Amino acid sequence: MFNRISLSHLLFELLADAQRLYGPRDPSFAVDIETFTPAGRLAHASMIRPDPAKRRYVIRVPAGGVEIHLGAACFAIGHEVIHVLSSVGQPWTTNLEEGLGQFFAFDSAARRGWFEFSPSILTPYWTAERLTSQLLRLDPTVIKRLRKTEPCLSKVTAELLLAECPNLDPRIAHQLTTRFPEGEDDAQK
């Protein structure tokens, strides 16, 4: 069974992995984790709450599954860690940012031996992950290079994406840099 200390340890382990793969985050912001009692339609959803006044991010994960199952914890925290890489202030996300969150979450859980994935009821996430997977198959290091020019993933343009990955289909570049469907991105983020 996980407790707050082990969830915090997992958070910082995943944050280190994400920075190694995709570039550094703004270290002037603290990162913390808390659990909440789920309720409502998005009861299963993790989320991130930026708090610019206190210069910190709080990753919120639903109590229950993540406190019991390593795979669920890796998946929930892994997705939100990607949002920590981007600077605070962007009021919405793109398919690139949400897709990378899903991709990293899958990979993080799989590397720790949890492979029990089922299709999500939140189809836009899986669409975004599929698009991001296509990009990363063409160029596994493109995100790190993109973030040197534009640290906020949701501010990356199709033009910048194509400049860094010229073999990418321009239609996919446009889809990746399109705003993630509203109402589906779990109150972000």
Q: pLDDT tens for residues 22-57?
A: 999 988 888 888 877 766 554 456 777 777 788 788
CA 141 to CA 135: how far, in whole Å?
10
Task: Write down the pLDDT at residue 120.
Answer: 55
Task: Write down the pLDDT at residue 160.
Answer: 98
In a domain, 32, yes or no: yes
Look at residue 11 and tell me whether its pLDDT is greater than 80. Answer: yes
In a domain, 156, yes or no: yes
In a domain, 184, yes or no: no
Task: Write down the pLDDT at residue 17.
Answer: 96
Task: Give the structural domain span for 84.
Answer: 4-176
Please state the domain count of the chain. Answer: 1
- Compute the half-sphere exposure of residue 60: CA atoms within 13 Å on the CB side of its CA: 16
Look at residue 71 and tell me whether its pLDDT is greater than 50. Answer: yes
In a domain, 129, yes or no: yes
Distance spanning both ends of the chain, measured CA to CA: 27
- Which residues fall within 8 angstroms of residue 143, CB to CB, at 6 or more apart? 21, 22, 23, 100, 136, 153
Look at residue 109 and tell me whether its pLDDT is greater than 60. Answer: yes
Mean pLDDT for the chain?
83
Task: Write down the pLDDT at residue 49.
Answer: 75
